[in-house]
Amino acid sequence: MLLPPPRRSTFLFLLAAIAACGTASQAWAKKHQPVRITVKGAEFRAYPVAVPDVTAYPDGDSRAAAAAMTDLLRYDVDLARTFELVPVNTYLADNKPKAGPPAYGAWQATGASGLILGEARVVAGQMTLALRFDDVTAGKTLLTRTCSAAPAAGARCVHQFLDAVIAQLTGEDGVFSSRIAYVRRVGNVKAIYGADVDGGNPEKMVQSGALSLLPAWGAAGRALYFTSYIAGGSHLYRLSTPTGRIDSVSARQGLNVGAALSPDGRRVALTLTVDGNSEIYVMDVDGKNLTRLTNNLALDVSPTWSPDGKRIAFVSNRSGNPHIYVMQADGSNVRRLTFRGTYNQEPDWSPRADGFIAFTARDESLHYDLFLVHPETSEMIRLTQDSANNVSPSFSPDGQSIAFVSDRDPNNRGQVYVMDADGQHVRAISPGVTDCETPAWGPRLGY
Amino acid sequence: MFASGNSKPTVGRMVLLSALLHGAIVLGLWLGDVFAARWAPAPKQVMTARLVRLGPARKPDMLPTLAAPAKPNGPKKIAPQVPPKPPAPDAAAAAPVASAPSKADSLAARAKTQSALERLRKIAAGAPDGDEAGDADSAEAGERYYALVKQCTQDHWVLPQGLSPALLAGRKGLVLLRIDPTGKIINYRITQKSGLQAYDSAMEYAVSLCKKVPPPPPELRQGLRTAGIEINFEP
């Protein structure tokens, strides 16, 4: 039996009821929406990370490997500017590794925000290292990595893991895959060496027995430019880091020194005296298409590129004393940058877009120290003081750290040090490796 | 009571006993001094306070020096909020009407009363615990309460150093938290992630450390327990 069609009044009543319900529900939803407040102005601090002992299988080789990896993890966490190592003596007894999830509450009580756990096992000379990074606040694992390598090569596993953790936390890769090249005098010969950023895996990079100076990394770290007297004169060479092959890049008359690669890796700025005076030139990486940028009776040396490749900072004594100058990459618009001090040199431009230029300056006590100068405002900041001589700054690829040479340790003069870009947390990367000069912090090499 | 033969030397014995006791006390004090000096920890090196004489001013063309490191700040403390005093009762409202006026008089009196009330409201605007820079006559209890919650999380809003300004520009995240009538944070969750793990962890960290705020005012309790507060975290 069919129902009779609804009356018009009924239909209108239903419409009104639906509209009323909709309005009421909207009003209810609005009334019960959470209140929103804004919190801004965060404080920036190092991310505290706890690193308990890496566990080991119960055999001698595994235990030794675990101990070595524990030491390396703690050293590198302490080295990384993003992290702060939670002191080991604050770890509570029940934080020792055991089966089951970590006691996040207890770790949080030590002040840790992150936790690194590891397990090492050595079988037939091969180490398997399992590492894990936990967010203590959230109480969950964020990252796990397992690496297999000889125990002596375990550093690569640790570096790769830490770079991944830093990338996860900050959105930017860590710099543990990069290397620092430096000149070291051994006996009567100065040669170019390289080491990890924590000083590990040191090696002689340029095998030539000739005097080699002023290393400068090429793009992606596959080439290292340096000045050497291989052929008797001060010429510019390029070392292919994968193959070890050395090629001549510039053998022009006079000096060919102080190479600096452009950010895009296509051009080299350097100092030549081919025209009778020290001037800044730019050429292609193969040495062709030479362009002179400066034309001044003064000495113009030590070029360094801005991160966008549009400007070059350099040293000139055209005002009477060596000071830092800036010019466009075509040599135009030369502008003096430093007006304080009497002997400013060795500029290195930070790779960060908002970064400063680091340089060496001699102060009134005739000691050399490191400074920063803003490329626009000439604002100057001092980084070192009252620590003997500190020279030759070189920024890390993320611009957060600076490598330099110091003789602050009277028993180990000329060691390579690394510090935060604000001058804090100074530490020697290779304690006992002395008589070093002009460190050059290379790009990330990846894994 | 005492045997007559034993009374004579009693005073002498008392004097002797007193002397011995006093002597023992003095000896004990002296020995205590000696041993305390022997076993007391070595005194700390005395600090010499020196006032450096005023030297020549540093020339403007000389290199800058490192400033003395600032003393570390102590832990941040949230200033206790003094509950606002209840407003003074309207004096005009308490004034009794003397007699029953006529209708015209009543209207005039009412108008006069209302204008007096209006003047009193203007005088009472602001609050004894207000701010010199404040531009509001009053703040609702809810606004004050939300400020407390904001302050609690603000104190723990910490990001890892090294995050570049380009990475932080425009970044934000939302955390929803619910508060029970005692001020305890019942639960919280991220309702909008920032896209950066460290940022999300820092938001949770800030809220997790703010375990409890003062009990909310009665009119807010239901809403805070059900709908909650959403905190927008910006760098």
Give the CATH number of the domain where residue A256 resides: 2.120.10.30
A43 contacts B235? CB cut-off 8 A: no
Position A194 scores a pLDDT of 96
Position B172 scores a pLDDT of 92
A97 vs A36, more confident: A36
Mean pLDDT in residue range B176-198: 90
Sole residue written with tokens 């209140």:
A35
Mean pLDDT in residue range B89-114: 51
Task: Identify which of A41, A171, A371 has the shortest CB distance to residue B167.
Answer: A171
Q: If you measure CA to CA, which chain B residue comes closest to A140?
A: B201
Token output for A377: 């405002």
- Cβ proximity of A61 and A151 under 8 Å: yes
- Determine, yes or no, domain membership for B198: yes
Task: Identify which of B157, B165, B204 has the shortest CB distance to residue A39.
Answer: B157
- Determine, yes or no, domain membership for A7: no
Q: How confident is the model at residue A315 (pLDDT cuts 50, 70, 90)?
A: very high
Instruction: Indicate if the pLDDT at residue A399 is higher than 90.
Output: yes
Question: CA A239, CA A91: separation in Å to the nearest integer?
Answer: 47
Position B35 scores a pLDDT of 74
Give the rounded percent of residues in chain A with a pLDDT score beyond 70.
Answer: 94
B63 contacts A382? CB cut-off 8 A: yes
Position B88 scores a pLDDT of 42
* Tally of structural domains, chain A: 2
- Cβ proximity of A88 and A70 under 8 Å: no
Q: B149 touching A, CB under 8 A?
A: yes
Radius of gyration of chain A (CA): 29
Position B95 scores a pLDDT of 38
The pLDDT mean for chain A works out to: 92
Instruction: Indicate if the pLDDT at residue B99 is higher than 80.
Output: no
Torsions phi, psi for A60 (to 5 deg): -60, -45
CB burial of B103-142 (b: ≥16 within 10 Å; e: otherwise) equals eeeeeeeeeeeeeeeeeeeeeeeebeeeeeeeeeeebeee
- Determine, yes or no, domain membership for A9: no
- Determine, yes or no, domain membership for B51: no
Give the domain CATH number at B205.
3.30.1150.10
Mean pLDDT in residue range A380-406: 96
Position A428 scores a pLDDT of 94
How many CB atoms lie under 10 A from the CB of residue A304? 25
The predicted-structure confidence for A209-241, as pLDDT tens digits, reads as follows: 899 999 999 978 999 999 999 999 999 999 999
Position B47 scores a pLDDT of 63
Q: A105 touching B, CB under 8 A?
A: no
Q: Are residues A208 and A233 in the same domain?
A: yes
Q: How confident is the model at residue A115 (pLDDT cuts 50, 70, 90)?
A: very high
Q: Which of A:319-358 have CB within 8 Å of B?
A: 339-341, 352-354
Mean pLDDT in residue range B157-176: 86
Give the rounded percent of residues in chain B with a pLDDT score beyond 70.
Answer: 57
A171 contacts B62? CB cut-off 8 A: no
pTM for the predicted model, two decimal places: 0.75
Q: Are residues A166 and A188 in the same domain?
A: no
Pick from A18-32, A404-418, B22-36, B167-181: least confident: A18-32
Position B91 scores a pLDDT of 39
Q: How confident is the model at residue B37 (pLDDT cuts 50, 70, 90)?
A: low
Kindly report the nearest CA distance between residue B65 and chain A, in angstroms.
6
Kindly report the nearest CA distance between residue B172 and chain A, in angstroms.
9
- Determine, yes or no, domain membership for B24: no
- Determine, yes or no, domain membership for A361: yes
Instruction: Indicate if the pLDDT at residue A27 is higher than 70.
Output: no
Establish whether this prediction's ipTM goes over 0.90. Answer: no
Position B212 scores a pLDDT of 74
Q: What angle do CA A369, A375, A378 make, to 5 degrees?
A: 65
A81 contacts B162? CB cut-off 8 A: yes
Q: How confident is the model at residue B136 (pLDDT cuts 50, 70, 90)?
A: low
Q: Are residues A291 and A210 in the same domain?
A: yes
Sole residue written with tokens 């290195």:
A348
Q: How confident is the model at residue A383 (pLDDT cuts 50, 70, 90)?
A: very high
Secondary structure letter of residue A376 according to DSSP: T
Position B39 scores a pLDDT of 64
Pick from A310-314, A369-373, A392-396, B25-29: least confident: B25-29
Position B160 scores a pLDDT of 84
Q: What angle do CA A412, A155, A140 make, to 5 degrees?
A: 120
- Determine, yes or no, domain membership for A270: yes
Instruction: Indicate if the pLDDT at residue A32 is higher than 80.
Output: no
Token output for A126: 């091969």
CA distances from B136 to A75, A169, A415, B133, B229 (A): 54, 42, 62, 9, 23
A306 vs B218, more confident: A306
Instruction: Indicate if the pLDDT at residue A393 is higher than 80.
Output: yes
Mean pLDDT in residue range A20-42: 73
- Determine, yes or no, domain membership for A360: yes
3-state secondary structure of A415: strand
Question: CA A170, CA A149: separation in Å to the nearest integer?
Answer: 28
- The one-letter amino acid at B81: Q
Q: How confident is the model at residue B89 (pLDDT cuts 50, 70, 90)?
A: very low
Q: How confident is the model at residue B231 (pLDDT cuts 50, 70, 90)?
A: very high
- Determine, yes or no, domain membership for B209: yes
Position B85 scores a pLDDT of 40
Q: How confident is the model at residue A351 (pLDDT cuts 50, 70, 90)?
A: very high
Instruction: Indicate if the pLDDT at residue A198 is higher than 60.
Output: yes
Instruction: Indicate if the pLDDT at residue B92 is higher than 70.
Output: no
Q: Are residues A308 and A377 in the same domain?
A: yes
B115 vs A303, more confident: A303
CA distances from A128 to A100, A149, A163, A192 (A): 21, 7, 19, 33
Question: Which of A152, A170, A188 is the last residue in one of the domains?
Answer: A170
Position B143 scores a pLDDT of 78
Instruction: Indicate if the pLDDT at residue A291 is higher than 90.
Output: yes
Q: Are residues A205 and A77 in the same domain?
A: no
The predicted-structure confidence for A48-106, as pLDDT tens digits, reads as follows: 999 999 999 898 899 999 999 999 999 999 999 899 999 998 887 555 556 677 889 88
Kindly report the nearest CA distance between residue A143 and chain B, in angstroms.
11
B142 vs A434, more confident: A434
Q: Are residues A149 and A218 in the same domain?
A: no
What is the extent of the structural domain holding B199? 141-160+169-233
Q: Are residues A216 and A255 in the same domain?
A: yes
| Interface test with chain A among B62, B153, B164, by most A beta carbons within 10 Å | B164
Position B149 scores a pLDDT of 87
Torsions phi, psi for B198 (to 5 deg): -65, -35
Position A149 scores a pLDDT of 93
How many CB atoms lie under 10 A from the CB of residue A100? 5
Q: Which residues of A touch B66 (CB under 8 A)?
A: 382, 384-385, 423
B223 vs A192, more confident: A192
Sole residue written with tokens 């009571």:
B1
Give the domain CATH number at A107.
3.40.50.10070
Mean pLDDT in residue range A330-354: 96
Mean pLDDT in residue range A6-35: 68
Q: If you measure CA to CA, which chain B residue comes closest to A48?
A: B160
Position B71 scores a pLDDT of 37
B229 contacts A385? CB cut-off 8 A: no
Question: Which of A129, A145, A170 is the last residue in one of the domains?
Answer: A170
Position A208 scores a pLDDT of 83
- Residue whose C-alpha is closest to residue A399's, from A357, A437, A428, A337: A357
Question: Which of A105, A140, A170 is the last residue in one of the domains?
Answer: A170
- Determine, yes or no, domain membership for A118: yes
Q: Are residues A251 and A364 in the same domain?
A: yes
Q: Are residues A159 and A183 in the same domain?
A: no
- Determine, yes or no, domain membership for B177: yes
Q: If you measure CA to CA, which chain A residue comes closest to B68?
A: A385
Instruction: Indicate if the pLDDT at residue A20 is higher than 70.
Output: no
Q: Which of A:359-398 have CB within 8 Å of B?
A: 361, 363-364, 369, 371, 380-382, 384-385, 398
Q: Are residues A160 and A269 in the same domain?
A: no
Q: Which of B:84-143 have CB within 8 Å of A?
A: 142
A39 contacts B63? CB cut-off 8 A: no
Pick from A239-253, A319-333, B203-217: least confident: B203-217
- Cβ proximity of A52 and A117 under 8 Å: yes
Token output for A353: 């877009």
Q: How confident is the model at residue B169 (pLDDT cuts 50, 70, 90)?
A: confident
Report residue A400 CA to chain centroid gap. Answer: 6
Q: Are residues A210 and A260 in the same domain?
A: yes
- Residue whose C-alpha is closest to residue B185's, from B218, B209, B155: B209
> Strands (DSSP E) along A140-234, which ranges?
140-149, 179-186, 189-196, 203-204, 212-217, 223-228
Q: How confident is the model at residue B58 (pLDDT cuts 50, 70, 90)?
A: confident
- Residue whose C-alpha is closest to residue A242's, from A223, A226, A227: A223
What is the extent of the structural domain holding A98? 47-170
- Determine, yes or no, domain membership for B26: no
B85 vs A17, more confident: A17
The predicted-structure confidence for A136-188, as pLDDT tens digits, reads as follows: 988 889 999 999 999 989 999 999 999 999 998 888 899 999 999 999 999 88
CA distances from A418 to A162, A175, A194 (A): 18, 13, 14
* Tally of structural domains, chain B: 1
Position B78 scores a pLDDT of 31
Q: Are residues A165 and A232 in the same domain?
A: no
Instruction: Indicate if the pLDDT at residue B82 is higher than 50.
Output: no
Q: Which residues of A touch B229 (CB under 8 A)?
A: 34-37
B54 vs A57, more confident: A57
Position A4 scores a pLDDT of 61
